[in-house]
Structure 1
Amino acid sequence: MITKNYARIDGGLVVELFSTSGDITQMFHPSLIWVDITTLSPAPQAGWSANQAAGAWTFAAPPAQTLAQAQAVQIALIEGAYQNAIQQPVTYMGATFQADASSQNVLAKSLVAGSVPSGFFWLDASNNQVVMTFTQLQGLASAMLTQWQAAFAKKTGLKQQIRGATTVGAVQAIVWA
């Protein structure tokens, strides 16, 4: 038997590809639209537009991403990676501390007082109590700030590279690694 390739069409788009040597009309509900694409070159892919006129199907690839679109997408990816990076745990005083947004907020509020009571402690990432003086608490904040600054510098540099790239491929090659 000969294997044929089909594209399932929904809403004017190719949404699925399927290959079979069987009778496709017997495999799926008749309301599904399957078009034989075996002899088409280039073969339509998922996401391509599909139009039927006078009983014949035509297919078109989606328009290529513009440089500006690629830059916007890549910058958004870099921003997401930056947000993740600034919330990674930090090591300070031989312990690992959470540095997520909630921890950062509580730490900032704790520093406003200008001092800590006797026996003050901060919980490490394993929820162990780590006794700290106000100066040590400032040191924890400094460790987080150092992490933020390194991530911010990296983000800024990557965004400058993205804005300076002149092709979509060059933009897409710039990643947070």
Structure 2
Amino acid sequence: MRTLDNGKPPRLHDIARALFIVNRNAKTAIHAKELYSLKHKTVQKLLEENKAKKIGLHFSKNPKNAQQHSNLLIQVDNYYFHVPPRKKDFSEVPHLGEGDASYRNPKTSMPLYEAKRLLEQYTGYRFQAKSKPTYPKRQAPVFTKLGEPYPWHHPKR
């Protein structure tokens, strides 16, 4: 198991809080794809380690192209998250119908950078750093007297 900067393994409650913060910010983020990737990697690892539990399937609140589909409800500590289901989930977990208000998350606050760092350390997943475009180095302007050639210009002899 990975450890945090302080050498201790992350507590499940802290992972759940960080997951909640990343999920909440992903809903409005410009780079939501990266945050959702981090969320899915974390949920997948938690399920593999039996630290998360599949509760059931809910109908999506926002169906794409007006076609109803379902989301898998996952419980991590006392937090709940929806993730896209796999084919086998339809036969393994019950369908709970419409979303239920009883599956509410507690109020949580944590800086996004801290939540991302904790989940990155837990999963080993790193964001792909966006490289800034490189431009050729600018040269200082060269001034010559009127009628004289530029220093790099060599007229044919």
Is this a same-fold pair by TM over 0.5? no
Greater RCO, 1 or 2 (C-alpha within 8 Å, sep 6+): 2
- Shorter-chain TM-score category? under 0.3
> Per residue, is there more helix in 1 or in 2?
1
- TM-score norm. by structure 1 comes to 0.19
Relative to its length, the structure with more strand (as a share) is 1
TM-score by length of 2: 0.21
